[in-house]
């Protein structure tokens, strides 16, 4: 089967969007360009009803899975206990089967929690563009960025994880087998941030020293560079983790 992009059909990719305003963005765009057929599954459709969810498709029906962010927190599982335990189980099953998964922010936190790590309240809320650095003796395949951060919690990686990048505040990139978790958001573009800001009131933003107009202006400045670095990061995931050696 032939698809537009690289001329080859790479398989099926499942994108998990926990809310309607958190789709795959540039991650999904690059997966499609690399020949994947994309299926996006939106878990919850009403921000006021976080436990009203749509059942997950079977991860095993897909060649790769990208799990995106969320406004929810794994430090408050009762708010999402109608679906979060099913997602954690699906990640564990995928890990046992050697299935590649890329987890972004909340998605990375889910991978950590599912595989023996945990998630905790971050001592600092990171919002905005931050450079990330490689950990001692490791290579950071994402590069320093800067990358968009928007998180209140942070990852405590599993004991067998390889931590590749960090900031002073949080682990930013780790791998476990064919699982890759990030704390940063590579997927963002202007439309993505615009959608996020529609659900963020001014009082919330002011609490963290943020202004919606400044956030959007900065996203416009960073978008061309971020798109390139996101696509390069997805290429690394595909070529090194999902399909090493082609």
The catalytic site residues sit at: 105, 185, 187
CA distances from 231 to 19, 61, 68 (A): 23, 24, 16
> For residues 97 and 180, what is the distance between their CA atoms, to the nearest angstrom?
15
CB 57: neighbour CB atoms within 10 A?
Answer: 14
Residue 228 tokens read as 């390139």
Residue 25 tokens read as 């963005």
Contact residues for 140 (Cβ-Cβ < 8 A; gap 6+): 132, 133, 134, 164, 165, 173
Contact residues for 245 (Cβ-Cβ < 8 A; gap 6+): none
Residue 206 tokens read as 């002011």
> For residues 141 and 35, what is the distance between their CA atoms, to the nearest angstrom?
22
């Amino acid at each position: 089967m032939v698809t537009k992009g690289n001329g080859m059909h790479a398989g099926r990719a499942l994108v998990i969007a926990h809310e309607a305003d958190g789709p795959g963005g540039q991650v999904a765009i690059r997966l499609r360009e690399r020949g994947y057929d994309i299926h996006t599954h939106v878990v919850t459709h009403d921000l006021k009803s976080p436990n009203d969810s749509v059942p997950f498709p079977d991860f095993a029906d897909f060649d790769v899975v990208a799990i995106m962010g969320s406004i929810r927190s794994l430090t408050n599982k009762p708010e999402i206990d109608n679906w979060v335990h099913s997602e954690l189980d699906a990640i564990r099953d995928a890990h046992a089967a050697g299935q590649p998964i890329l987890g972004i922010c909340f998605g990375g936190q889910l991978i950590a929690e599912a595989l023996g790590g945990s998630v905790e309240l971050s001592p600092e809320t990171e919002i905005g563009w931050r450079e990330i650095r490689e950990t001692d003796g490791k290579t950071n395949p994402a590069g320093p960025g800067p990358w968009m951060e928007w998180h209140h919690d942070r990852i405590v990686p599993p004991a067998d994880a390889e931590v590749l990048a960090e900031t002073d505040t949080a682990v930013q990139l780790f791998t476990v087998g064919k699982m890759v978790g990030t704390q940063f958001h590579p997927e963002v573009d202007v439309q993505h941030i615009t959608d996020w800001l529609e659900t963020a009131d001014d009082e919330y933003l002011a609490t963290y020293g943020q202004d919606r107009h400044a956030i959007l202006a900065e996203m416009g400045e960073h978008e061309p560079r971020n798109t390139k670095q996101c696509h390069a990061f997805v290429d690394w995931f595909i070529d090194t983790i999902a399909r090493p050696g082609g």
